[in-house]
Amino acid sequence: MGAVPPEIAELVRVQDRISFLYLERSVIHRDANAITATDERGTVHIPAAALGALMLGPGTTISHHAMMLLAESGSTVVWVGERGVRYYAHGRGLTLGSRLLDAQAALVSNRRSRLEVARRMYSYRFPDEDVSGLSMQQLRGREGARVRKLYRYHSERTGVRWSRRDYDVEDFLGGDAVNQALSGANISLYGVVHSVIVALGCSPGLGFVHAGHARSFVYDIADLYKAEYTIPLAFDLALDPPIDIAGEARRRLRDEMVDGAFLKRCVNDIYELLLGEKNASDVVAPESDDVWVWDGSADGSGSPVLEHGTGEGAAWS
């Protein structure tokens, strides 16, 4: 039978979890309410309910029971390539309601509200500029100028030469030290942001600035933090490059996020962007899993049609 699945009230809130864990060349299994990772050095136990995202690199094998536990615990599983720089797929997080998803879909489907959310995103990144009246093209122009200025600043600060952002997924080692470190740090940042988005029930693909990709919203949210986290980290590492610069970038980023402040900030930013709510208390799952039928109202509300949305044998009311 295995261990009893944890109740929603027992789960660790998203912002209080370990941000991410990267594993490669190991076997992942389940032991009660923990997952185990085994390699030639031995076995470690990781509490599943405290894990935000599990990133599985090359040479990993994960059991059915381990995946069941991670799903029950609301932890996202992301399959990535060597050095964690290629994204393949992800597993679902634990969410039953659609409040944030409904708001996201409504905002992105209207040109005016989509632009307003994009403006708010840029205002987070450039708080000293008034972007309230800018078009999307003007916002992108401002962003390009600010990012180039940021790269020049860190190049001068560290003395590391910088030419341009150059990332070839087919030739990772062909990039210079800064580009390798940026790629390693950014893919880890994407994994953490992806886990928060999925855990909150949002769509990774419904972006406001980015579009046309299954992770557009992931890139939108991750861009809010690159100037603070991954860009300075990449230049610092490139000053004296380690042998595995992408791996070291991933570990350094993890260390910066270990106190949970980043996850709380990410949750609150998403709530504020989509719902206008600040300092969100956060939910791993909604208050109930009832299913409703839209009654034609403007707010998208409706009437319940199932006694219990996910219960076996749920009947029409």
146: exposed, middle or buried (Cβ count in 10 Å: 0-12, 13-18, 19+): middle
Give the Cα separation of 38 and 115 in Å (integer): 48
User: According to DSSP H, which parts of 133-292 are helical?
Assistant: 136-158, 177-199, 216-222, 230-239, 245-257, 261-275
* pLDDT at residue 285, rounded to an integer: 42
Can you give the pTM of this predicted structure?
Answer: 0.69
| Closest by CA position to 22, among listed 264, 298, 251, 271 | 251
And the tokens for 104? Answer: 């996201």
* pLDDT at residue 214, rounded to an integer: 86
Amino acid symbol at 65: H
* pLDDT at residue 92, rounded to an integer: 59
Give the Cα separation of 307 and 164 in Å (integer): 57
Residue listed under structure tokens 């295995």 = 2
Cβ atoms 201, 271 nearer than 8 A:
no
> Residues comprising the binding site for Mn(2+)?
143, 210, 223
Across 24-75, where does the E strand assignment appear?
27-31, 34-39, 42-47, 51-56, 61-62
Cβ atoms 60, 26 nearer than 8 A:
yes
Give DSSP secondary structure letters for 173-193: GGS-HHHHHHHHHHHHHHHHH
Domain 99-275, what fold?
Four Helix Bundle (Hemerythrin (Met), subunit A) (1.20.120)
And the tokens for 201? Answer: 């029930």
| Domain chopping of the chain, boundaries | 8-90, 99-275, 289-317
Q: How far is CA 4 from CA 7, 31, 91, 287, in A?
A: 9, 12, 21, 21
Q: Which of the 8 DSSP states describes residue 136?
A: H
> Residues comprising the binding site?
143, 210, 223
* pLDDT at residue 119, rounded to an integer: 94
The residue count for the chain = 317
Phi, psi of 48 (to 5 degrees): -65, -40
Give the Cα separation of 169 and 184 in Å (integer): 11
Cβ atoms 229, 192 nearer than 8 A:
no
Q: Which residues contact 186 (CB under 8 A, 6 or more apart)?
A: 222, 226, 230
User: 3-state class of 169 per DSSP?
Assistant: coil
Give the Cα separation of 152 and 173 in Å (integer): 23
And the tokens for 146? Answer: 């600010």
The CATH number given to 8-90 is 3.100.10.20
Q: What is the pLDDT along the chain (317 residues), one digit of tens a residue?
A: 444 544 544 444 544 555 567 788 899 999 887 888 998 898 988 877 777 678 788 889 999 888 888 877 767 787 777 655 566 666 655 556 788 899 999 999 999 999 999 999 999 888 888 888 899 999 999 888 889 999 999 999 999 998 887 766 565 555 688 988 998 899 889 888 887 787 788 899 999 999 999 889 999 999 999 999 999 999 999 999 888 888 899 889 888 887 768 878 888 899 999 998 765 544 444 444 555 565 556 655 555 554 444 433 333 33
